[in-house]
Amino acid sequence: MAEKEINILGAGISGLACGIFLRKNGHAVNIYEKKSNVGMRFNNDWQTLENWSDDMDVLKQIESYGLDISFEYEPINYLYFHFGKKNKLLHEKNAAYLVCRGKEKGCLDTDLLKQARNLGVNVYFNSKMVDNIHINATGPKKVSILAKGITFSTKSADCYHMALGEKIAKGYYSYLLIRNGHGTIATVFGPKYSKKANEFMENTINQFSDYIDIKELLDGKKFGGYGCFEIKENLHDKNGALLIGEAGGFQDYFWGFGMRYAIRTAYLAARSIMNNESYEELIKANITAQMKHSFRKRVIFESLGKLSYPILYYFKTTKHIFQDSANL
């Protein structure tokens, strides 16, 4: 197939991954990013690349698409799961992989930028709008979920915690992730509770106070963020560009995980260009059922009100927590 010149808007993980896949298949690729660097939406915070929504290991999956696994990651094999004062230890080998998000060396974002540039992808920063965009990878445009947190240096041991509760993270969960003296503590909640963000954060800090020295948070960096999930029929923007990653609403409705979707939809968009296949059909065949499943779980969770937390805490086994999107 003759080489095409492909223009991508947005150098998040979906835009960079898509650029890498297309470049590896012989296309000339330009990526236009409005910020001065990659990872500016993030804060060198820990995020988890989930490994339960597909039978294939996520690292093997993204490697099979054409990415190098040269970014820093750490397998998560256990998780302390909290509800109020109770907690239990859940084990699952390689349940997820911890990755750092931001503009520092070793982060997923900076590593993908390096991979893209090494292949000859042109990445232009401080660059907002150009004509003739083929791929729209500009991230969330709607607020479906909010997060507030702190990244901090710590002397505490490595640990992974997640907690449920109305007073700490209404509708979603709080988390504490520590690795190699670097910690992230955060609350994730629905947009209708935005006014309670500070209260949720304070209660989250109290929830995890047995595992950290709270004084260490004073020198930490506060952050806030949001995400979008939406099942769209039309996956082209108004100029006809393919919508990938969160720009296309691709994110898990139940837990709010979007990284794996970002890379998978980047691959499917690249494939549709490379093989002249319908992007919508590829998404329908590979992604939609999983998105719908996560939507149904969210509807059930929200309809249970306060009961949803104890039900999730008591009746979900390790397997369910980590693998409940698989085998739809």
Ligand X SMILES: Cc1cc2nc3c(=O)[nH]c(=O)nc-3n(C[C@H](O)[C@H](O)[C@H](O)COP(=O)(O)OP(=O)(O)OC[C@H]3O[C@@H](n4cnc5c(N)ncnc54)[C@H](O)[C@@H]3O)c2cc1C
Are 9 and 135 in contact by the 8 Å Cβ rule? The answer is yes
Nearest to residue 72, comparing CAs of 47, 93, 38, 50?
Answer: 47
10/183 with CB nearer ligand X: 10
Q: Which is nearer to ligand X, 144 or 154 (CB)?
A: 144
Q: In terms of CB distance, is 26 or 75 closer to ligand X?
A: 75
Distance CA 326, CA 318 (A): 14
Residue with smaller CB distance to ligand X, 34 or 316: 34
Supply the minimum distance, in Å, between the C-beta of residue 245 and ligand X.
Answer: 2
Q: Least CB distance from residue 246 to ligand X, whole Å?
A: 4
The residues binding ligand X (CB under 6 A) are 9-15, 32-35, 40-41, 47-50, 128, 137-139, 147, 225, 227, 245-247, 251, 257-260, 262
Nearer Cβ to ligand X (84/225): 225
Distance of closest approach, residue 273 Cβ to ligand X, in angstroms: 17
The answer to whether 273 and 22 are in contact (CB under 8 A) is yes
Shortest Å, Cβ 2 to ligand X: 27
Which of 36, 276 has the CB closer to ligand X?
Answer: 36
| CB closer to ligand X, 84 vs 141 | 141
**Cα 69 to Cα 66: distance, rounded to the nearest angstrom:** 10
Please report how close the Cβ of residue 129 comes to ligand X at its closest, in angstroms: 6
Residue 41 sits at φ, ψ, to 5 deg, of -75, -15
The three-class DSSP label of residue 173 is: strand
Rounded CA-CA distance 164/312 in Å is: 9
- Residue entry with tokens 């890498």: 20
Identify the residue whose tokens are 């699952």.
Answer: 92
Give, to the nearest 10 degrees, the angle between helix 259-275 and helix 58-65. Answer: 30
Task: Say if residue 295 is exposed, middle or buried (CB neighbours under 10 Å; 0-12, 13-18, 19+).
Answer: middle
Rounded to 5 degrees, φ, ψ at 291 are -65, -45
Name the minimum Å distance from CB 327 to ligand X.
Answer: 20
Sheet of 122-124, strands arranged across:
122-124, 28-32, 5-9, 135-136, 242-243
State in angstroms the smallest separation of the CB of 48 from ligand X. Answer: 4
* Residue 219 structure tokens: 């020198």
